[in-house]
A and B are shown apart, each in its own frame.
Chain A
Amino acid sequence: MANMSLNKVKIPEQDPNIRNKNFLEVALGYTKEMAIEEAQRCLNCKHRPCVSGCPVNVKIPDFIRLVAEGKFEEAYEKIRETNSLPAICGRVCPQENQCEKLCVRGKNGEPVGIGRLERFAADWYMQNIKAKTNNTVKNGRKVAVIGSGPSGLSCAGDLAKLGYDVTIFEAFHVPGGVLMYGIPEFRLPKALVQDEIQTVKDLGVKIETNMVIGKVLSLDEIIELGYEAIFIGSGAGLPSFMGIPGETLNGVYSANEFLTRINLMKAYLFPNCDTPVKVGKNVAVVGGGNVAMDAARSARRLGADNVYIVYRRTEAEMPARKEELHHAKEEGIIFKLLANPTQIFGTDAGWVRGMECIEMELGEPDATGRRKPVVKAGSEFVIDVDTVIIAIGQTPNPLIKNATPGLDTTKWGGIIVKEETGETSKKGVYAGGDAVTGAATVILAMGAGKKAAITIDEYLKNK
């Protein structure tokens, strides 16, 4: 008999007033009992609407039924058939716009907690089951993947399952991409990301860190080394600035720099780790996406008294995951909506002392259908801050493009691919994830990596 409760089984969380001072994970995860209870809310629908909402088509009702039956290992394996990073997706997917959006239980009450169950199955597996030896027959053909973010990992994992000898080249000293340097520990523990990457390595994927492709090797040189195809999953790492006066003052960070210092370089453990980060008493974060929420919540944890989110539209237009918006509010982040920065003021010594903003109002809908913010003349006001973090978006890094003649990109730097296949303008070279779409989501990047793996396999079989 299905559990007909209108609400999801609550997920235990750290208290907001405790967690806003630490970097431990906010959501603590379901116990076995909670997971089974929540799994029983699934109606196992024949037409499976939830599955079509998932960019990698996780077999949702099937895995949830296995959870309900207490068959956690089988549940995990069912998810892994289509998703190589379930512990990560279960935590960071914007489920409310994807799988859970289409869940029939959501028509009357809350949808099934698909993400939470996915996370549970993955966590349970990693805690309880030892790595299994992989007995795929190798075909001896080499494929190179550039970048070890979600797109690169999923492409590499799928190709390895098909028998290819896959090497990932990663610029940083650790693999994971945004999962390591962008999304904070309190939302996605780094040890867990590494455990999940280990499961991809267990498939036989090799990861070479400290390799900046375009600098140390060109794409043509990779091919000369015997790789028969290349997948580019280099992400969208180039930070945008606003171009307003004062952006080079001390105390102004791009969100990328701020979060990289904290996550990848563990500045929250300074001085036990060498990399520092400066967080003042009053911090303004400009932007309304996941990146802005993460920067704001990190600043709060590092001791800032007042952390403002400055966003030029209203809460309804904010691209951040609803859950994270809610968490940010609980943790005391102050929202300054319909406001846009116009300049940053500095002290004589060159440190931030304030930021001038102007009020906005919503006008006609723009090309994306969102109402366009327009300036209210003469409405300037100043907020008293000593740190400004700019989180208004990232575009693909031009490094690979600049080093690769014949690789076509859009005006804003996105690699141009054939949508269905991931093929670029250069033969044997495929691309996907944020490098193609601009900043998007983990699961879309993974979907693109999977799709490219299928095309690469076809290409190499016919070569």
Chain B
Amino acid sequence: MFRIVKKRILNTQVKLMEIEAPFIAKKAEPGQFIILRASENGERIPLTIADFDRDKGTVTIVFQEVGNTTKALGKLNEGDMILDFVGPLGTASHFDNVKKTAIIGGGLGTAISYPQAKKLYGMGVEVHSITGFRNKELIILEEELKAVSNKLIVATDDGSNGVKGFVTDILKNLIEEGNKYDLVIAIGPIPMMKAVCNLTKVLGIKTIVSMNPVMIDGTGMCGGCRLTVGGKVKFACIDGPDFDGHEVDFDEAMRRQNMYKDEEKISQKEHKCNLGV
């Protein structure tokens, strides 16, 4: 069992938790994730390692409440225990010869991109962070990102915080203003990552995306997380979750992510918590 040592509410749907998991904290690297199970009959769900503290032995997760497991998790409080917590899974992000990067986080994707920004900034890379949210109320991790970015632009679809527009437009403007990025990292909903990749492909800028397919084991054992990347089948949990965005078949990924849409609805409607089976 894994103790929740800190809980913070970031917005109405997103929560942050710091979990005591010393073995994982010791090995975690940006780009990796954990899988957790919140209750005996619950699903195994993957969440990115948003931060880690090797000395304290803790791992931070940031999650959006979308279904049974994330909602159940959101109800837990400091001092409570998470049943199962396994990691660090996935391949850590690798950055070579990067001087200047634009890191784009869409919505919750901001939390997934944060550890990458932190790492690159720590390596002395010039980091421009662009985050996009639907409106001002949904903005998360602004202070954290500011601390690890040379430039931070927070946009909202409706302009409720000042900067209006989509992250792709902002990236385009920055490039047109003369910023020369040798790496773009785009993390968020699939349509956003696809749009960014369409733009950067034309401009010839290497782009890394983080893929979030449905997973079970997270160790390469089920093949459920498979994606087509560069015409080859890859397992997101071991070969990724980071991939070269110009090679990913986003349409297929989107389709596969919707495989259990109907069941997710049934599950939320008929869910009986702690039902002994």
Contact = CB atoms under 8 A, between A and B. Distances in A.
A238 B221 contact: yes
B252 A399 contact: no
19 contacts: A173-B37, A211-B23, A216-B23, A239-B221, A248-B233, A250-B255, A253-B223, A253-B224, A254-B222, A254-B223, A271-B263, A272-B275, A273-B41, A273-B277, A274-B43, A275-B43, A349-B255, A397-B221, A399-B220
Interface of B: 23-24, 27, 37, 41-44, 68-69, 83-89, 216-217, 219-224, 226-228, 233, 238, 252, 255-256, 258-260, 263-264, 266-267, 270-272, 275, 277
Contact of B24 (A216, A238, A257, A266): A216
Counting from the closest, the 10 A-B pairs by CB-CB distance are: A276-B263, A257-B222, A210-B86, A350-B255, A237-B221, A254-B223, A273-B41, A173-B84, A274-B43, A271-B270
Nearest to A209: B84
B277 A266 contact: yes
A104 B43 CA distance: 50
Interface in A256-315: 256-257, 260-261, 265-266, 269-276, 278
B89 A212 contact: yes
Contacts of A271: 263, 266-267, 270-271
Contacts of A274: 41-43, 68-69, 267, 271
Given A257-B222, A397-B221, A272 B27 contact: no
A450 B277 CA distance: 35
A124 interface: no
A256 B235 CA distance: 14
A215 interface: yes
Contacts of A241: 223, 233
Nearest to B90: A215
Given A216-B24, A274-B271, A349-B255, A237 B42 contact: no
A217 interface: yes
Contacts of A196: none
Interface residues of A, number: 40
Given A210-B85, A215-B87, 20 more contacts: A171-B219, A216-B87, A216-B88, A237-B220, A248-B226, A253-B224, A254-B223, A256-B221, A256-B222, A257-B223, A270-B266, A271-B271, A272-B277, A274-B69, A274-B267, A278-B260, A349-B255, A398-B220, A399-B219, A399-B238
Nearest to A247: B233
A352 B252 CA distance: 13
A273 B27 CA distance: 32
Contact of A217 (B23, B41, B219, B277): B23
Contacts of B223: 239, 241, 253-254, 256-257
A270 B267 contact: yes
Contacts of B88: 215-216
A260 B222 contact: yes
A211 B41 CA distance: 20
A240 to B, nearest CB: 9
A172 interface: yes
Contacts of B275: 272
B216 A265 contact: yes
B263 A173 contact: no
B260 A260 contact: no
Question: Which of B87, B260, B263, B264 has most chain A Cβ within 10 Å?
Answer: B263
A209 B37 CA distance: 13
B217 to A, nearest CB: 7
B86 A276 contact: no
B41 A171 contact: no
A69 to B, nearest CB: 40
Interface of A: 171-173, 209-212, 215-217, 237-239, 241, 247-248, 250-251, 253-254, 256-257, 260-261, 265-266, 269-276, 278, 349-350, 397-399
B108 to A, nearest CB: 20
A248 B222 contact: no
Contacts of B238: 399
A114 to B, nearest CB: 33
Contacts of B41: 266, 269, 272-274
Contacts of B27: 215-217
Nearest to A238: B220
A173 B218 CA distance: 12
Nearest to A274: B43
Contacts of B85: 210
Nearest to B37: A173
Contacts of A237: 219-221
Contacts of A250: 255-256, 258-259
B221 A248 contact: no
Nearest to B2: A210
Contacts of B252: 248, 350
Contacts of A275: 43-44, 216
A253 B259 CA distance: 12
A172 B216 CA distance: 10
Given A274-B41, A274-B43, A248 B228 contact: yes
Contacts of B271: 271, 274
B175 to A, nearest CB: 33
Nearest to A269: B277
Contacts of A270: 263, 266-267
Contacts of A212: 86-87, 89, 219
Contacts of B216: 257, 260-261, 265, 275
Contacts of A215: 27, 87-89, 219
A173 B216 CA distance: 11
Contacts of A273: 41-42, 277
A30 B167 CA distance: 68
Nearest to A170: B86
Question: Which of A209, A210, A251, A270 has most chain B Cβ within 10 Å?
Answer: A210
A397 B238 CA distance: 11
Contacts of A350: 252, 255-256
A254 B222 CA distance: 7
Contacts of A260: 216-217, 221-222
Contacts of A210: 84-86
B10 to A, nearest CB: 24
Contacts of A349: 255
B119 to A, nearest CB: 18
A247 B256 CA distance: 12
Contacts of A253: 223-224
A272 B227 CA distance: 29
Nearest to B227: A248
Question: Which of B220, B222, B259, B266 has most chain A Cβ within 10 Å?
Answer: B222
